[in-house]
Chain A
């Protein structure tokens, strides 16, 4: 048997090449990474601000944060559940920090601030440690002692009579936070307990994030006391896991369904399992080559590219249909065959031209779609041309389609008579589009967001309840190392304080509270007197105060120890909640560091121009004020505009290819009219039904033109030269091909993933209209009238 198979392959070299290619592609696909984050929709060559945005989305601290809400049952049960879940998650390696408001968590932070107070406190200056400075600071502490919290503070007095710890902790707590009930964070109305976790997995590690979510889910279920308790979870990472899962599920479901429909359809015409199986070969090969090409070209494959890929089933199956119905069953003469393949080639070429425009896109997401389509279509047509003939039996036993063809021909004739009406419709649609051209495109980035609206609302709600900074405005600077970042933060600090005093900012975060630069730390060390001087200064400072210097030995020892110690490093923060905040502001990048200072907006919002101008005086080249939301919007608009421009070029290329191959202006017009007509009608239809068009609709239109051009070309060819029987065959093959496309995209239109649905509702109707219009306009008048 192997011998015969080998001999068979030797006789058919196309098969050998195909088999080898399939194996190679499978190898690549097996090692392909599938992603679903937003990175594919971020530009390949971003400017400095965009790169900042991209990095924040991929790896920033914000991308690792998940907010958990516990709902249901009663308040005590929710609070208990919060404590149990937090304790369980803290024991897991998957999370860097787990916060739920419990004070115990802050114990390490308190110890950190107390132990390092003379390095951290901005109040530490030579003046403060003079006799007068000490006297005023200690008097102040004694006044505090008389206050309500005095009995607590008295334990600090012996070692911290100048009150540095209190200043540092006050600074920290001033940043506010969510409401507490029974010691855990809750929403304002206490209907939810809230937790904030930071995953070890980065924002771009979708698998790691999914695993972390799984851990949260399991531990919540095992730790809750009441089954009526429910958990909600949100965060950038949650979104990317959910959209990947949903896209995956949708792709599987839709690909399965459309394959099933196409099988039923083809089986009813072919009446042959063998033909059916063969007809699927170009489809499978095309999808495989498409994924392989994207994987090799981009290093990963985006979920949306795959989703789009399911639609290729609808188009790639066409080639086999055309081949079986027209070429193999029709005139077997060489001239007819040549003409058939020529028409198919032009069709493929126009499709490739349309999609090639996307290849040069600066956005990997668009370029992936382009490469996938080109690779997939080329593979499908090559397999149809060279592999299928090698596998087909000499004589095809297919159902007699002549009666079907005759009926379709009559319908086509009816369509030709409706030309006037159709033309009027197209003109009306075009007029509508001109009239309302301002509303056609959706310029908001939300159009691209695969996250359902309900999930977005939940996210906003939890974020507000947690009092998490919206992280919309960032001050960003790229520097060489951590020290440079801290030095820059220190240089900026006076300006920022001035902005807060002027009311231009409500506040800002800074890493300096947790870790000042080495220079500042050694300046503070130098400001501390030696033990002997400190003791003598204390003696005169305490004159008339109810405190004796000999009670302050702890203070004298701590000051002496601080003078002699090594400066604080980032590693000293390990294990504290402050480390999380610090790492979000002093970010290690592939080369160097970024300093990112989140700004808090005053009630009136941030006047970016005024802040930029004020910071201009800081003389810090490369300092950026980034409005992340604005950046994202701008980015999407650029993306959309680029796609529209590229599509226009693609369309031009399509026209050029058809013009060159037909070499006749009237024929060119007859072929182009159905394409333009269906695009115009689909756009008008979407506009009237309340859709505004996103970039995915645009890709859909491009695909409509690619598919429709096949129809129009076949009508053009068949009308020109064929006998009526051949015309009918062409017609049947086109209707079959069209049905399979409409089914594939129709299903996509029902998808719950908005971006997939956008493709579906564009291409489904578009393909149908293309066929009807091609039947009406593309047939040559001398034979059809």
Chain B
């Protein structure tokens, strides 16, 4: 139930991103370099707007809210519109809060969903090893504007393809495509640290 909870963004530290910019200006961007950039971020907060394109519906449904990430494995997604809910992932423990209801589950109960959540989390954490364990990873662009394309190595029940786009150590967009062609597109805007 929880795999979507990971559309999370990380913001790179200012110092880190400047360093990265200097280093990678000339050469083609290597996955290892991007991962190191992403790994610099220990905590980050962002706002998001998400659209879901569902075949049954005439137009996409939209939601918005806030995201936060704390390295290495804590993700939180708080939807504010149109219906408030929160979904929190700590390690493998998943919590879904909707109104007064609180549901708890384990990622390990849903292996396919776990693979998918792990892709987002590994990206945010800059964990190349974890990412490449289950995904074929293609990287395009420069550090100033990069795109990661993830395809599952083993067939996955939920996801056909994931596209993550970003600028330096900052993830800006996540697109998840399902087998039936339905997809969700999430645009992310970094919030300055409080």
A102 contacts which chain B residues (CB < 8 A)? 109
CA A755 – CA B110 in complex, angstroms?
51
Instruction: For the complex, count residues of B whose C-beta is within 8 A of A.
Output: 37
CB-CB contacts of B43-55 with A at 8 A, as 1s and 0s?
Answer: 0000000101010
**In the assembled complex, A181 has its CB within 8 A of some CB on chain B:** yes
**In the assembled complex, B133 has its CB within 8 A of some CB on chain A:** no
Partner of A180, one of B1, B2, B105: B105
With contacts A103-B110, A158-B56, A546-B57 taken as known, whether A149 is within 8 angstroms of B4 at the C-beta atoms is: yes
**In the assembled complex, A613 has its CB within 8 A of some CB on chain B:** no
B4 contacts which chain A residues (CB < 8 A)? 148-151
Inter-chain contact B5/A181, CB cutoff 8 Å: no
Inter-chain contact B61/A180, CB cutoff 8 Å: no
Inter-chain contact A150/B61, CB cutoff 8 Å: yes
**In the assembled complex, A548 has its CB within 8 A of some CB on chain B:** yes
**In the assembled complex, B73 has its CB within 8 A of some CB on chain A:** no
Q: A398: shortest Cβ distance to chain B, in Å? A: 79
The residue in chain B whose Cβ has the minimal distance to the Cβ of A170 is B101
**In the assembled complex, B83 has its CB within 8 A of some CB on chain A:** yes
Most chain A CB within 10 A, of B59, B82, B178, is at B82
Inter-chain contact A145/B61, CB cutoff 8 Å: yes
Inter-chain contact A146/B63, CB cutoff 8 Å: yes
Inter-chain contact B108/A183, CB cutoff 8 Å: yes
Interface-facing stretch out of B18-26, B85-93, B118-126 = B85-93
With contacts A142-B61, A151-B4, A548-B58 taken as known, whether A180 is within 8 angstroms of B82 at the C-beta atoms is: no
Inter-chain contact B62/A149, CB cutoff 8 Å: no
Inter-chain contact B101/A546, CB cutoff 8 Å: no
Partner of A147, one of B59, B85, B178: B85
Residues 628-683 of A contacting B (Cβ, < 8 Å): none
Most chain B CB within 10 A, of A142, A151, A177, is at A151
The residue in chain B whose Cβ has the minimal distance to the Cβ of A103 is B109
CA A170 – CA B100 in complex, angstroms?
11
**In the assembled complex, B168 has its CB within 8 A of some CB on chain A:** no
Partner of B82, one of A146, A148, A158, A173: A146
Partner of B56, one of A152, A179, A180, A547: A547
With contacts A151-B4, A154-B54, A157-B56 taken as known, whether A546 is within 8 angstroms of B106 at the C-beta atoms is: no
CA A174 – CA B93 in complex, angstroms?
17
**In the assembled complex, A551 has its CB within 8 A of some CB on chain B:** yes
**In the assembled complex, B173 has its CB within 8 A of some CB on chain A:** no
Q: B77: shortest Cβ distance to chain A, in Å? A: 6
**In the assembled complex, A143 has its CB within 8 A of some CB on chain B:** yes
Inter-chain contact B77/A145, CB cutoff 8 Å: no
CA A170 – CA B99 in complex, angstroms?
11
**In the assembled complex, A226 has its CB within 8 A of some CB on chain B:** no
The residue in chain B whose Cβ has the minimal distance to the Cβ of A153 is B1
Q: B67: shortest Cβ distance to chain A, in Å? A: 11
CA A143 – CA B79 in complex, angstroms?
11
CA A179 – CA B193 in complex, angstroms?
33
The residue in chain A whose Cβ has the minimal distance to the Cβ of B81 is A146
Q: B133: shortest Cβ distance to chain A, in Å? A: 17
Partner of A148, one of B5, B108, B158, B178: B5
CA A706 – CA B72 in complex, angstroms?
76
Inter-chain contact B96/A148, CB cutoff 8 Å: yes
B140 contacts which chain A residues (CB < 8 A)? none
CA A180 – CA B1 in complex, angstroms?
15
CA A506 – CA B182 in complex, angstroms?
42
Instruction: For the complex, count residues of A whose C-beta is within 8 A of B.
Output: 29
B178 contacts which chain A residues (CB < 8 A)? 151
B68 contacts which chain A residues (CB < 8 A)? none
**In the assembled complex, B142 has its CB within 8 A of some CB on chain A:** no
The residue in chain A whose Cβ has the minimal distance to the Cβ of B60 is A546
Most chain A CB within 10 A, of B56, B59, B93, is at B56
Inter-chain contact A146/B61, CB cutoff 8 Å: yes
With contacts A182-B92, A546-B58 taken as known, whether A148 is within 8 angstroms of B109 at the C-beta atoms is: no
CB-CB contacts of A530-547 with B at 8 A, as 1s and 0s?
Answer: 000000000000000011
The residue in chain A whose Cβ has the minimal distance to the Cβ of B87 is A148
A146 contacts which chain B residues (CB < 8 A)? 50, 52, 61-63, 79, 82-83
Q: B153: shortest Cβ distance to chain A, in Å? A: 21
**In the assembled complex, B184 has its CB within 8 A of some CB on chain A:** yes
B27 contacts which chain A residues (CB < 8 A)? none
CA A147 – CA B99 in complex, angstroms?
13
Inter-chain contact B63/A147, CB cutoff 8 Å: yes
B2 contacts which chain A residues (CB < 8 A)? 148-149
The residue in chain A whose Cβ has the minimal distance to the Cβ of B62 is A146
**In the assembled complex, A483 has its CB within 8 A of some CB on chain B:** no
Residues 131-190 of A contacting B (Cβ, < 8 Å): 142-152, 154, 157-158, 170, 173-174, 177, 179-183
**In the assembled complex, B104 has its CB within 8 A of some CB on chain A:** yes
Q: B98: shortest Cβ distance to chain A, in Å? A: 8
**In the assembled complex, B103 has its CB within 8 A of some CB on chain A:** yes
CA A103 – CA B52 in complex, angstroms?
27
Partner of B101, one of A151, A174, A177: A174
B85 contacts which chain A residues (CB < 8 A)? 147-148
Inter-chain contact B83/A144, CB cutoff 8 Å: yes
A154 contacts which chain B residues (CB < 8 A)? 52, 54, 56, 182
Some 27 contacts from A to B, beta carbons below 8 A apart, are A103-B110, A142-B61, A143-B82, A144-B83, A145-B57, A146-B62, A147-B63, A147-B83, A147-B85, A148-B4, A148-B79, A149-B1, A150-B4, A151-B158, A151-B178, A154-B182, A158-B56, A170-B101, A173-B101, A177-B104, A179-B93, A180-B93, A180-B109, A181-B92, A181-B93, A546-B58, A548-B58
Residues on A facing B (Cβ under 8 Å): 102-103, 142-152, 154, 157-158, 170, 173-174, 177, 179-183, 546-548, 551
The 8 closest A-B pairs by CB, nearest first: A180-B106, A146-B61, A146-B63, A183-B109, A546-B58, A183-B108, A182-B108, A546-B57
17 further A-B pairs in the complex, CB-CB below 8 A; given A143-B61, A151-B4, A154-B56:
A143-B83, A144-B83, A146-B50, A146-B52, A146-B83, A148-B87, A149-B1, A150-B52, A150-B61, A150-B63, A150-B184, A151-B176, A173-B103, A180-B93, A180-B106, A182-B92, A547-B58
